[in-house]
Homo-oligomer: A and B are copies of this chain.
């Protein structure tokens, strides 16, 4: 009888650890390899006082922010191809240091994956809720999504989302106002008259060339002085 109890107890413990290990394994492979490479890299770097975080996807990832502003407090927390759920899943690493400022831009990859405007806006609300709860002193800059341009025939699921991007940006502008946060309308600085990403600043209709990042720089440098 006693042996049977010990046996059953052992089985239960074994299963428990098995499920735990399985769920950890699942967590480790929830996204694509690059996401986990960057996420573990970010977690391996020490927190500092007065961090200025650029949080987002490939458009954020692609810029050497600390070099461009010559400021070592600036940390690149962009991950190419990231989505709003991905940002939520790694937000604890971002807020842990109680950063001075966060510049957020996320959502265009959600659109490319077929997510609805409402879903994306709600997720960005959740990101802001979480930041404001965990680190209420942090200044949050809600950046608009950038315009896109399908003329290059590249990133086709992204670059056909002009109307959705405009809708998200309108929601973000309101959201920022309601929360008394700064909305940064990068869209206006980078678009043509027909609301497309100006070919002056891109070579694929989605990402920025050097000149595009200089426009972004000039739009936000007043917030970094």
Give me the interface of A with B, judged by CB distance under 8 Å: 28-29, 33-34, 36-45, 62-64, 66-68, 70-72, 75-76, 152, 154, 203-204, 207-211, 213-214
A207 x B37 contact (CB < 8 A): yes
Grouping DSSP codes into helix (H, G, I), strand (E, B) and loop, the A interface class, with mixed when no group exceeds half, is helix
- Which of B37, B76, B209, B213 meets A209, CB within 8 Å? B37
B62 x A41 contact (CB < 8 A): yes
B209 x A40 contact (CB < 8 A): yes
Q: Chain B residues near A44 (CB, 8 Å)?
A: 210-211, 213-214
Known: A41-B208, A64-B75. 11 other contacts (CB 8 A): A33-B154, A33-B204, A36-B209, A37-B203, A38-B62, A40-B209, A41-B209, A41-B210, A45-B68, A71-B72, A72-B72
Give me 8 A-to-B residue pairs in the complex whose CB atoms sit less than 8 angstroms apart, sorted by A's number: A33-B207, A36-B203, A36-B209, A37-B204, A40-B209, A41-B62, A44-B213, A44-B214
Given the contacts A70-B72, A72-B72, A64 and B37 also touching, CB distance less than 8 Å: no
Q: How far is the CB of A84 from chain B (nearest CB, A)?
A: 22
B34 x A207 contact (CB < 8 A): yes
Q: How far is the CB of A189 from chain B (nearest CB, A)?
A: 16
